[in-house]
Amino acid sequence: MANFFRPKNYAMKVDPKLKYAWVNIPKNASSFTQKVLDDNNWVDVPEDLIDSMIESSSVKKLIILRDPLERWISGLTQFAFDQHINIIDFLDNKSFYKIILSNPVFDDHTEFQHRFIGNGKNVSYIAMDKENPNYFYRCLSTWVMHTGGIANFGNWSQLINPANIHQRKLKINQELLTKFSNDNMIKGLLKKDYELFEKYDRFTN
């Protein structure tokens, strides 16, 4: 499927009864969600079955969505941090900005969210909110129990992997937020990701 991008790890997981599936979008609480589902005996969907399952109307899919610009900045921060690139030195360079606009995708973490979903059917989403982390935990906990699973984190309130756990990463993240938060050109590149919030049904607790 040309419109579907698969992450390196656990692209999709399915429950033991093959009624529910989770589509992994990296940087959207994916490691946490994967651990929760593993604890409930969910399994990875074989690569040759992913396309048909994501387009199946009989399997209820869940995705975790995040503000597109916030996620992209977080992903770019992670990329620069992991690659030991002092990206802050390039933020005011016009050539660097043109490169960003021509290709904003560097890896799984900066890939557009809609590319992980492709032509998905029967999809609902939980929205992450950094101002209210508990909302995500409550919704995911409710959804897991809705599928017949066990979840004991509905009262949690801490951010997942906050940037401030490492000062250099935090500085990169803050500089990128300052640079791109009000950048309409960047937001325009993320247009299809913003449309996901209207395209699919929102799961609430």
Q: Which residue has the tokens 């993320």?
A: 190
Residue 78's pLDDT band, with cuts at 50, 70 and 90, is very high
Residue 196's pLDDT band, with cuts at 50, 70 and 90, is very high
Closest CA to 75 of 130, 12, 83, 159: 83
Residue 93 maps to a domain: yes
Residue 118 maps to a domain: yes
The number of domains in the chain is: 1
Q: Which residue has the tokens 């919704």?
A: 139
- The domain of 137 spans 12-202
Can you read off the two tokens belonging to residue 146? 């809705």
Contacts for 48 with CB less than 8 Å, ≥ 6 apart: none
Residue 5 maps to a domain: no
pLDDT higher than 90, residue 55: yes
Residue 28 maps to a domain: yes
Whole-number Cα distances in Å, 132 to 138, 155, 165, 170: 11, 12, 19, 19
Cross-strand bridge partners of residue 65: 127
Residue 7 maps to a domain: no
Residue 160 maps to a domain: yes
Rg of the chain over all Cα atoms, to the nearest angstrom: 17
% of the chain residues with pLDDT over 90: 80
Separation CA 44–CA 149 (nearest Å) = 16
Residue 6 maps to a domain: no
Instruction: For residue range 3-45, list pLDDT tens digits in order.
Output: 678 887 889 999 999 999 999 999 999 999 999 999 999 999 9
User: What's residue 205's pLDDT?
Assistant: 77
Residue 4 maps to a domain: no
Instruction: For residue range 117-163, list pLDDT tens digits in order.
Output: 999 999 999 999 989 999 999 999 999 999 999 999 999 998 877 65
